[in-house]
Every structure is written in C-alpha cells, then in structure tokens.
C-alpha cells in the first residue's frame, strides 16, 4: 500500500493541470490516479477542440469560467509554440437567424466587453456583411469573434503530464477507483483489483464519474447526472470549404444549448458538424446503444436515475424530447438544423463519422440541469463536478484558482518551492 499527501482522481485536462501547479509549488508527495493507460482518454481528447473566447458566457453567473477561458488563452498559445501542438486560428461566426436571437448577440457583445475581450476582437455584423465574408451563410446577423483557435487538447494534456511528472507527480495508470474508505486522518482509495493507496487529501477530477466519486465521500447525494454522447460527422473533402469560418448559432432553447450543432473547422484542415446529444447509460458509451426514435425514447427513460427522473415531469423538457431532441439524433436531422444557416449543405456531403465525446451534465435536486461547476469539499476531499464546456479552454487558469482556494483553506501545508516550467502561477493570479 502506498501513502500520499495528495491523490488526484482523474487524469483528464483538469486533474493533470492541478497536478502541474501542485508539483511546481510544493514539495509534496502527489499522485494522479487514472483508470486508463494514459491521460486524456475521455472528454479531454474527445471534444470539439475549440479554444473559446468567452463572449457568450454571462459574466455574472459564469464569471470564473469566463475569466479562466480569457486568461488561459495566452497560456495555451505559448505552450502550443513550445511543444508544437496544433494552433490554428479559425475565428467563429456566432449566428442569429431572427430578431429575437439578434438580441442575444447584442447581450453577448456587452458580456464580451465585461469579460475583458479586446473590442477589436468582436464585431457585430449584419446579414450583408456576413454574406460578403461567407457567401454560403444565411442569417439575420452574427458576431464575428476573431480569437477562436482549433487545437488538440489531448496533446496539450500529454505535455502538461510530462512537465508534472518531471516536477515529481507520480501518475498511476490502469487503476479504477471503486470505493473510498474514510479513516480518521486520511482516506483509503480502493481499486477494482482490490489494490489501494492512502492519501491525506483527495482531489476529485473524475469528469463523467466525478459525481459518483463525490458520493463515495458522502457529498452531493441529492444530485444525479445524465450522459449525452455528442456525435460528429466529417464533411467530404470537396465540401469542406463551403464555409471557411467555424459557425456556432445562438441556442434556440437556452436551457438546452447541446441541441444546436456547429460547423467546425479543425486544426487538421477537415470540417465537421456536430455534436448532437444522444442519451447513453455511461460516460463511456461511445458506440451503439441507440436505434430508431421509438426505442430511443423508451431507452431514454432507462438512463435516468435519481433526480434526473424529475426531468420527465418538466413540460418544456418533455416537449423538447419529443419534438426536437431525440429527432436530432439522426444525421439528417442534425444537418437540417445546420441548413437553417448554411442552406447548401446536404446529409450526403458527410459520409464519415468523427470522434464522439460524452458530456455528463449534473441534475439538481429540483430536476433541472445545473449550469455551473459544482465544487464540494469535506475535511479530506475537494470535488470538482459538472466541469463542462468551455472546461478545456479554461483548464490552465481554473486549475490555478483551485490551488489558490486550497491554499486559502489551509489544505496545502507543505514545504514551498517555486519552479516555473511552462506557466507562472503568480502571473495567472495577477490577471484574476
């Protein structure tokens, strides 16, 4: 049995970034426990790969995520240069298709300024200006945001792991946490092969399983989660440049932004559309499960547990399921949604699927989707739950804020060191 000062559960972009900060700031006996054979095998490499500019995040309700995304941008750019990670500036057109959605764009322009995005990086365009820029896009108006980048977050996470490892973090791969035993002064983390490690303090960054891990600590028992597979389709090469900019659209249903697929320019020159939102039973059901719409609806009820069942009593949600959501599972329905702003595209332009990824939004005790990150702690653990998009973008700064929080709460009583290898902790905090 090994004994650690701190154990981080989850080697995604978040857990790996936190391990970097801790090992660069402290002489601490630290491990990252990951059930796969490497870091970033799940959401952190199975995503849209956009470095987001946070103009669409409400500065009041999503202040930390917005700030994290803004500060992290330069950190990613410098790491991309140092480690040769793809960094392709694509920009984004955020499209409104009617006057009502245009009002959201006006609000986003204000939010962008409040979130600190330089004014020269955001333009509000009318339909004519958009069609001059992108003749195959039809809309009422759009925000042209110039900062967005297409990258590879899996490659980034591997770079951070390399640095963290050099600084002293022990990465333990192939160990799936199945149980946590709380002792008087520490916790024993038990794996499904019955091996275990003990740690004075545990940081839970287990992505789609983070709610389950928090519940092992007796926390968040009143919450549930639900898993949606987001599927992508790759445009055949001859259609790839139909539109040269990445296109997002103002969410038609604000509480359910996962219903609106995008046109995504990738760092490798390909173009994809997606993601849709297929309800699946686990955060790793990447293939299969869903068939026709009828079986999808009956299976959807099976994937709901605990509070998530309350969703079935929400009339807006139910009407969405029947009219919009489950029908968006098919490629044709997804392309139909995109045809609203790129009328020329057709389902037959997309013959290959891209890499799917799974989002696991948390459901509140009231049966609603939780919109923000949930941070919960007790004397032996700190748990980060519902860390969703733009979580990859904001990971470098957000993870530094978590470490600052742990410092302030007195959890990090270790001998200090100050090594700046890829990023500077003080520089992140000075920008906050």
Ligand X SMILES: Cc1cc2nc3c(=O)[nH]c(=O)nc-3n(C[C@H](O)[C@H](O)[C@H](O)COP(=O)(O)OP(=O)(O)OC[C@H]3O[C@@H](n4cnc5c(N)ncnc54)[C@H](O)[C@@H]3O)c2cc1C
Enumerate binding residues for ligand X (CB under 6 A): 9-15, 33-36, 40-44, 47-50, 52, 176-177, 205-209, 230, 275, 357-359, 387-393
CA–CA distance from 141 to each of 93, 117, 334 (Å)? 9, 20, 22
Output the smallest distance, CB 415 to ligand X, in A: 28
If you write DSSP's letter for every residue of 89-123 in order, what string do you get?
E--EEEEE-SHHHHHHHHHHHHHHHHTT--GGGEE
Output the smallest distance, CB 8 to ligand X, in A: 9
Output the smallest distance, CB 69 to ligand X, in A: 7
Q: Kindly report the length of the chain.
A: 432
Output the smallest distance, CB 142 to ligand X, in A: 19
Q: Which residues of 91-105 are buried (b: 16+ CB within 10 A; e: fewer)?
A: bbbbbbbeeebbebb
- The DSSP letter of residue 236 is P
Closer of 12 and 367 to ligand X (Cβ): 12
Closer of 152 and 186 to ligand X (Cβ): 152
Output the smallest distance, CB 12 to ligand X, in A: 2
- Is 93 within 8 Å of 247 (Cβ atoms)? yes
Closer of 24 and 399 to ligand X (Cβ): 399
Closer of 127 and 370 to ligand X (Cβ): 370
Parallel, antiparallel, or unpaired for β 187-191 and 177-182? antiparallel
- Is 93 within 8 Å of 248 (Cβ atoms)? yes
Closer of 13 and 406 to ligand X (Cβ): 13
If you write DSSP's letter for every residue of 51-90 in order, what string do you get?
E--GGGS-TTTSHHHHHHHHHHHHHHHHHHHHHT---EE-
Output the smallest distance, CB 281 to ligand X, in A: 15
Contacts of 169 (CB under 8 A, 6+ apart): 19, 20, 22, 23, 30, 31, 32
Closer of 51 and 96 to ligand X (Cβ): 51
């Amino acid at each position: 049995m090994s004994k650690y000062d701190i154990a981080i559960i989850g080697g995604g972009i978040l857990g790996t970034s936190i391990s970097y900060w801790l090992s660069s700031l402290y002489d601490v006996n630290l491990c990252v426990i990951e059930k796969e054979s490497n870091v970033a095998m799940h959401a952190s490499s199975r995503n849209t790969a956009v470095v987001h500019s946070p103009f669409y995040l409400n500065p009041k309700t999503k202040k930390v995520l917005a700030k994290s995304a803004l500060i992290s941008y330069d950190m990613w750019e410098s790491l991309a240069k140092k480690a040769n990670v793809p960094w392709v500036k694509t920009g984004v057109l955020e499209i409104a298709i009617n006057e009502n959605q245009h009002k959201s764009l006006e609000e986003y322009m204000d939010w962008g300024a409040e979130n600190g995005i330089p004014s020269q990086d955001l333009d509000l365009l009318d339909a004519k200006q958009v069609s001059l820029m992108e003749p195959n896009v039809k809309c009422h108006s759009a925000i042209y945001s110039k900062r967005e980048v297409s990258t590879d977050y899996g490659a980034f996470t591997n770079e951070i792991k390399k640095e963290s490892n050099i600084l002293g973090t022990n990465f333990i791969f192939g160990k799936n946490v199945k149980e946590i035993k709380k002792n008087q002064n520490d916790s024993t983390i038990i794996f499904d092969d019955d091996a275990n490690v003990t740690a004075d303090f545990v940081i839970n960054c287990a992505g789609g399983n983070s709610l389950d891990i928090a519940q092992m600590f007796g926390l968040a028992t009143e919450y549930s989660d639900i898993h949606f597979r987001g599927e992508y389709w790759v445009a055949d090469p001859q259609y790839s440049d139909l539109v040269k900019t990445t296109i997002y659209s103002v969410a038609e249903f604000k509480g359910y932004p996962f219903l609106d697929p995008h046109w995504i320019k990738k760092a490798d020159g390909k173009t994809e559309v997606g993601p849709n939102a297929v309800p699946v039973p686990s955060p790793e059901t990447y293939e299969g499960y869903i068939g026709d719409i009828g079986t999808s609806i009956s299976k959807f009820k099976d994937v709901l547990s605990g509070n998530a069942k309350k969703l079935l009593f929400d009339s807006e949600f139910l009407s969405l399921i029947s009219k919009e959501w489950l029908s968006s599972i098919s490629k044709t329905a997804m392309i139909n949604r995109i045809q609203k702003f790129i009328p020329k595209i057709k389902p037959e332009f997309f013959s290959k699927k891209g890499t799917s990824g799974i989002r696991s939004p948390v459901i509140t005790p009231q049966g609603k989707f939780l919109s923000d990150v949930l941070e919960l702690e007790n004397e032996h653990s700190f748990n980060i739950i519902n860390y969703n998009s733009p979580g990859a973008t904001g990971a470098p700064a957000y993870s530094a804020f978590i470490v600052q929080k742990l410092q302030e709460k007195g959890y990090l009583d270790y001998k200090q060191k100050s090594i700046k290898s890829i990023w500077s902790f003080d520089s992140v905090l000075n920008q906050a």
